[in-house]
Amino acid sequence: MNEIRSISAKQVGRDVPRLESRQKVTGRAEYTHNITLPGMLYAKLCRSTVAHGRILSIDVSAARDLPGVHAVYTGETIRTLIAEPYFGPAFHDQPILAIGKVHFVGEPIAVVLAADPYVAAEAAQMIVAEYEELPAVFDEVEAMTSAAIVHETLKPAGTFADLKHLSGKSNTNVALDYQLRRGDTDAAFAAAEHVFEHEFHTQQVMHTPLEPMVSIAEPGDNCLTIYTASQSPSFVCTEIARLFGWRENQVRVKVPYLGGGFGAKLYIKLEALVAAAAMLARRPVKLSLTMEEQFYTITKHASTFRIKSAVNKDGRITARRCEIFWNGGAFADIGPRVTQKSGFTSPGPYDIDNVSVDSYALYTNRPPAGALRGFGIPQLVWAYESHTDLLARGIGMDAVEFRRRNLLREGRPQATGTLMHDAAIIEVLDKTAELMNWTAPFERGEGVIRRGRAIAIGFKAVVAPTTSGAIVNLSADGSAALYMSTVDMGQGSDTAMAQIVAETLGLVAERVKVVHPDTDVTPYDMATLGSRSTFHMGNAVKLASLHALEQLGAMAREVGLPEGTNYEIRDIFLKKYGMQAGNIIGVGSYVPPYTSPQKGTGLSDNVTPFWMVGAAGVELSVDTETGHVTIDRLINVADVGRPLNPAIVATQLSGAAMMQLGFTLFENMDLDHGQVTNASLADYKIPGMHDLPTVMDNVIVDNNQQNGPYGAKGVGETATFGVSPAIANAIEDAVGVRLTSLPLTPESVLRGIRALRGEKLEG
């Protein structure tokens, strides 16, 4: 069989079944939870019971005396090892264990180590802390001006140039104030035919990966090995090395499969704690969070978005002002990036000459917030697409027609001034309208049931600039292995990347081996986040494969084979080495071109290497006696460039849409003075099979991302964009009720229906 020539060009675009499927269904796939090491201790945390307070004392004596307890550490113990034990990707604001004060209910204040996890858990409950409570702030808008200050001084990490001006600032909860200014909004509003202004809210929700966070650290001689369920092994390595004042090569980070991530397992989470504990105890230490503890670890930003638009008599939007407040909780995590990188898309995928954006990352005394499947975009699309429907309604224009008139077209400048390329915005809108049969009459329901329909469309710029590296090892028998630090957390990256290797080298994707992240072995990758891997790592993998191919060509020439030889790879090796020996190492690294936005205006001629576009079309029924909403049909339409693996793309679209459906209709972290009151899966509900829409279609429009690997781009988040506003818009279409806060509960719908009749719910 001649593998080099015959299979080529049939590997991408093919529904290659996921490489790890068999391992997973037979229970053989490796997860951090299954790893135990000789002499390993289990860690259990004791957490703060107050939202904001100065620590007066932590009494660990009873815990330490419990038989079976190996050690109990507090922030002060950690300090004997690391002088400044604070970490974080944007700000060094998060202590490994609380020092001096606590910032939210659930913040870790002490850790117990024991060989038996149940002993550790019991001891953790015996720790008694005393606090002097401080005034707390929970609301993001109040945090702008509140007297309660979460952190005395701001401590930007220094890695980001645009955060430098915040260094040492005190008496503020604003972790980042991002601005964009384009055109003259004041003049445009003054001259406007119509002006509309609305305010929208989103609630705090959680990633809920079904594999809770887990990390293990194994100490060595001036070195550490960390096994962790992380989406960003390279960052963990860098940050642990920084904390210990070590070289990167003293820290080895290994990541097997993840049972979901969704942004929860980014940057560092438990790794710093297990690393410090392992170094102090000189024993391997494992920390596995319970599902309940995840509620105190990382969440999705609650937000408030004030949006104002000017519309002229032709139905063109002439100006838009956006003010967004992001509730970052107690630690910045990646919130400042969300604030900025998503902030610049907050006017939506519309061609508007005059735009102003103010986006604020705020500290509050809630559990910290980070990136969750969309990096802030779903919060923005929720607001601007609800608003856009209200504009169309306000001027009496069809919602699809209004959008078509205002959407950005190829070559037009987005709010930052970057020209739009390869973003199939109009195509996505038109496809959605076509699938919904938009121009045909619509069945409106009867009796107590009222039906409505609507659409919403959003876009996202991939976070830039970021780097990926890959190594392809071509063995003498013609088989290939790919070494990369992209983490397969269920999204199918191993398979897609194997397809790129196979396509480029003329192999069969199923036979490409993918070596999982191990910072001693696999090259740097910024992280598996923000739909960046297919594009960035995909390009790096393609470059590495091409590099290998180039060397193979050189080898063929060297052994006297003609250009375009049909010799198999192993025969070329055999001719060179006289036996099955040797290998070819192809390396590739990719960082896209990028222009930093100007300070103050936020303008840039190249703010992102690609745009993702997603729309949702919704048909629903409302029970007007109870407010219950049934989603009869949900259509997800996406521009993903050329899909590398259409079947995996479809599951990414349906999965993202379902996740957003939960955030839209019911998921909500209930907080009582900063205390999460529903921190369990019994009380915090995520969608299940019975919550699926009656009909759900996932559709990809034809497009080619010219700078992407084989025309592809990211897809993991795209189907989250339109779901929330499309549902809210369809509810208004059905019953005339406009909801401006998520989640869209049956109670809020019923209250809206009653309010329209001038009635209130009693009680």
Partner 1 sequence: MRGFEFLRPGTLNEASALLATGDAAARPFAGGTGLMLMMKTGVFSPSRLVCLRQTEAEHRAITPTGDGGARIGALASLSQIEHDPLLCRLAPVIARTMTTLANVRVRNVARIGGTLAHGDPHMDMPPTLAALRASVVTSGTASRTVPVEALYAGYYETILQPGELISAVLLPDQTGWHSVYLKCTTRSADDWPALGVAVSVRMDGTTITDSRVIISAATEKLTRVAAAEAVLNGATAGLAAFTAAGEAARAVETIEDARGSAAYKTELVGVYVRRALQQATGAGGN
Of 142-150, 481-489, 636-644, 670-678, the segment contacting partner 1 by CB under 8 A is: 670-678
Question: Does 625 sit near partner 1 (CB under 8 A)?
Answer: yes
Q: Which stretch binds partner 1 (CB under 8 A): 501-509, 515-523, 662-670, 731-739?
A: 662-670
Name the minimum Å distance from CB 208 to partner 1.
12
717 counts as catalytic: yes
Minimum CB–partner distance for residue 36 and partner 1 (Å): 20
CB of 748 to partner 1, least distance (A): 9
Q: Least distance from C-beta 209 to partner 1, angstroms?
A: 17
Distance of alpha carbon 61 from alpha carbon 77, whole angstroms: 14
Q: Which one of 97-105, 352-360, 369-377, 658-666 is the stretch in contact with partner 1 (CB under 8 A)? A: 658-666
Q: Is 122 in the site for partner 1 (CB under 8 A)?
A: yes
Which residue in the set 21, 566, 598, 626 belongs to the binding site for partner 1 (CB under 8 A)?
A: 626
Question: Which among 258, 288, 264 has a CA at the least distance from the CA of 207?
Answer: 264
Is residue 699 within 8 A of residue 638, CB to CB? The reply is: yes
Only one of the segments 74-82, 128-136, 722-730, 755-763 lies at the binding site for partner 1 (rule: CB under 8 A); that segment is 755-763
3-state secondary structure of 61: helix
Nearest C-alpha neighbor of 331 from the set 46, 74, 663, 96:
96
Classify burial at 443, counting beta carbons within 10 Å of its beta carbon; exposed 0-12, middle 13-18, buried 19 or more. Answer: exposed
Shortest distance, CB of residue 109 to partner 1, whole angstroms?
A: 18
Task: Give yes or no for residue 691 binding partner 1 (CB under 8 A).
Answer: yes
- How far, in Å, are 52, 672, 709 from residue 142 at the CA level? 16, 16, 45
Q: Does 118 bind partner 1 (CB under 8 A)?
A: yes
At 109, which helix (H) or strand (E)? strand 108-114
**Closer CB to partner 1, residue 34 or residue 626?**
626
Which secondary structure element, helix H or strand E, spans residue 482, and what is its range? strand 480-484
Residue 761 within binding range of partner 1, rule CB under 8 A: yes
442 in contact with partner 1 (CB under 8 A):
no
Applying CB under 8 A, the span of 366-374, 384-392, 623-631, 730-738 interacting with partner 1 comes to 623-631
Per-residue exposure over 388-404, b if at least 16 CB sit within 10 Å of its own CB, e if not? bbbbbbebebebbebbe
Least separation, in Å, of the C-beta of 763 and partner 1?
A: 3
Q: Which of 15, 59, 670, 702 binds partner 1 (CB under 8 A)?
A: 670
Question: What are residue 622's phi and psi, to 5 degrees?
Answer: -115, 130
CA 378, CA 200: separation in Å to the nearest integer? 12
Q: Residue 517 gets which letter from DSSP?
A: P
- Retrieve residue 253's tokens: 């980070």
Which helix (H) or strand (E) is 76 found in, with range?
Answer: helix 75-81
Mutual orientation of helices 399-406 and 377-395 as an angle, nearest 10°?
Answer: 110
Q: Which region, judged by CB under 8 A, interacts with partner 1, from 83-91, 214-222, 310-318, 664-672?
A: 664-672
Q: Is 666 a residue that touches partner 1 (CB under 8 A)?
A: yes
* 630 binds partner 1 per the rule CB under 8 A: no
Interaction between residue 465 and partner 1 (CB under 8 A):
no
Task: Give the strand order in the sheet containing 449-461.
Answer: 449-461, 611-623, 629-639, 695-700
Terminal CA-CA length for the chain: 78
Around 558, how many Cα atoms within 13 Å sit in the side-chain half-sphere?
12
745 binds partner 1 (CB under 8 A): yes
Output the six-digit token pair for 309: 């638009």
Which residue lies nearer to partner 1 by CB, 432 or 664? 664
Helix residue spans in 645-722 (DSSP H): 646-665
The residue (of 221 and 672) whose beta carbon lies closer to partner 1 is 672
Scanning 306-314, 498-506, 523-531, 679-687 for contacts with partner 1 by CB under 8 A, the matching segment is 679-687
Q: Which of 542, 752, 696, 553 has its CA nearest to residue 4?
A: 553
Nearer to partner 1, 397 or 686 (CB): 686
User: Is residue 677 at the binding interface for partner 1, with CB under 8 A as the rule?
Assistant: yes
Figure out which of the listed residues 678, 707, 740, 741 binds partner 1, where binding follows CB under 8 A: 678
- Phi, psi for 255 (deg, rounded to 5): -130, 115
Binding track, positions 289-308, relative to partner 1; x by CB under 8 A: ---x----------------
Contacting partner 1 within 238-297 (CB under 8 A):
292
Cα dist. 735→96, 223, 450, 472, 738 in Å? 50, 63, 7, 57, 9
Q: How far is the CB of 691 from partner 1 (least distance, A)?
A: 5
Q: Residues 612, 617, 618, CA angle at the centre, nearest 5°? A: 140
Contact between 114 and partner 1 per CB under 8 A: no
Q: Does 688 bind partner 1 (CB under 8 A)?
A: yes
Least gap, CB of 292 to partner 1 (angstroms): 7
Q: How far is the CB of 656 from partner 1 (least distance, A)?
A: 17
**Which residue in the set 396, 690, 757, 758 belongs to the binding site for partner 1 (CB under 8 A)?**
690
Q: 589 - beta bridge partners?
A: 469
What part of residues 333-372 is at the interface with partner 1 (CB under 8 A)? Answer: none
- Our finding on whether 205 is near partner 1 (CB under 8 A) is no
Measured distance CA(268)–CA(606) in Å, rounded: 30
Marked catalytic residue, from 211, 717, 759, 762: 717
Q: Does 680 bind partner 1 (CB under 8 A)?
A: yes
Token couple for 366: 């809630």
Q: In the β-sheet with 69-74, what is the strand arrangement from edge to edge?
A: 69-74, 108-114, 41-47, 285-288, 214-219, 224-228, 251-254
Q: Looking at the annotation, which residues are catalytic?
A: 717
* Binding footprint of partner 1 on the chain (CB under 8 A): 118, 121-122, 125, 292, 625-626, 628, 662, 665-666, 668, 670, 677-678, 680, 682-683, 685-688, 690-691, 745-747, 750-751, 761-763
